Amino acid sequence: MSTLPAGVLADVPLSRYTTIGTGGLAQYLAEPTEESALLAMLRWAEERNLTIAVIGLGSNLLPADSGFAGLVLRLDGALAAIDVNDAGATVGGGAALAAVVRKVGDAGLAGFEFACAIPGTIGGAVRMNAGAYGQELKDTLVSVTICSATGSRRARVDELELTYRHSNLRPGEIVTQAELSLAPGDPAAIKALVRDYQDRRSAAQPRKARTFGSVFKNPPGEQTSGQILEACGLKGYTVGGARISEKHANFIENFAEATSADVVALMIEARRRAREQYGVELEHEVQTLGEIVIPPA
């Protein structure tokens, strides 16, 4: 094997880096802390035709049991920094959303409270235009810095074409920084709203179980995916070591050394029942990594 660049590890279990706790080995994994190191890793990967994947905190992610042939990245250090100013914040792509919520709230800046209910990082939230409680990231996002093997560039929020759980970011493009615009607010009121959101989430969603978050996007109409799947009688439905949560039917739990194949089997069954019983085609929200296929219902 040729010498690896500084900070790049080989054959790393993805189950250690994902909230669902499944998946095989990543061919390579690195946690760059500076943009220069990240760019060097991206160029190294491109020279070897390696696929790039950024996993953030490992939520909203289902890796294949066979692993991932390529370079997996987690942004850290300066690439996860949070700098607050009078009008908002400059946030590294690797920064945890929960940490951003705390820091801007302590500074008396309002408008980002909704993100306390979303596990993950700023970079992943931009890519998916993450949202909760009637708000989306695009509501506070001004611009981003995007890195790829060809270098870095700035992009305005309107250039990202953000829609429901979607952006136009291409594979290999990594959000390393985001500019947020926030409004002055009362720190006590901000903290109270965050607590309310957290309490609502705890009451409705599994908190201690290993999950990757919501499985399916909400379809058009009044019923959510969770309501449809609950009506299909799927709460508690089990395949191998994975089960559909008894608390919220749009969550899958790894309760007994589940494999990603167990999870996929549950997703296929859920889509089949939603289609056959309610005529609804559910689209999965979770991102996959490696050779993993979730066929149509």
Average pLDDT over residues 225-234: 98
Asked if pLDDT for residue 191 goes beyond 80, the answer is: yes
What pLDDT band is residue 208 in, cutting at 50, 70 and 90? confident
Average pLDDT over residues 225-241: 98
Known active-site residue 285 = yes
Known active-site residue 173 = no
Tens digit of each residue's pLDDT (9 = 90 or more) over 90-105: 999 999 999 999 999 9
Asked if pLDDT for residue 1 goes beyond 60, the answer is: no
Catalytic residue among 15, 59, 167, 214: 214
Q: Determine phi and psi for 30, rounding to 5 degrees.
A: -145, 155
Q: Top-level CATH class of 225-289?
A: alpha beta
**Statement: 78-204 belongs to CATH 2.60.120.200:** no
Cβ count near 85 (within 10 Å): 13
Asked if pLDDT for residue 254 goes beyond 60, the answer is: yes
Catalytic residue among 43, 165, 201, 272: 165
What are the residues whose beta carbons fall under 8 Å from the beta carbon of 222, sequence distance 6 or more? none
Catalytic residue among 31, 136, 253, 285: 285
Q: What DSSP string runs through 61-119?
A: EEE-TT-EEEEEE---GGGG-EEEETTEEEEETT-BHHHHHHHHHHTTEES-GGGGG--
Q: How many whole angstroms from its chain centre is CA 215?
A: 12
Q: Considering just the CA atoms, what is the radius of gyration of the chain in Å?
A: 19
Domain spans in the chain, listed from the N-terminal domain onward: 8-76, 78-204, 225-289
Tell me, what's the pLDDT at 207?
Answer: 85
The architecture in CATH of the region 8-76 reads 2-Layer Sandwich (3.30)
Tell me, what's the pLDDT at 237?
Answer: 99
Asked if pLDDT for residue 297 goes beyond 90, the answer is: no
Asked if pLDDT for residue 229 goes beyond 80, the answer is: yes
Asked if pLDDT for residue 296 goes beyond 90, the answer is: no
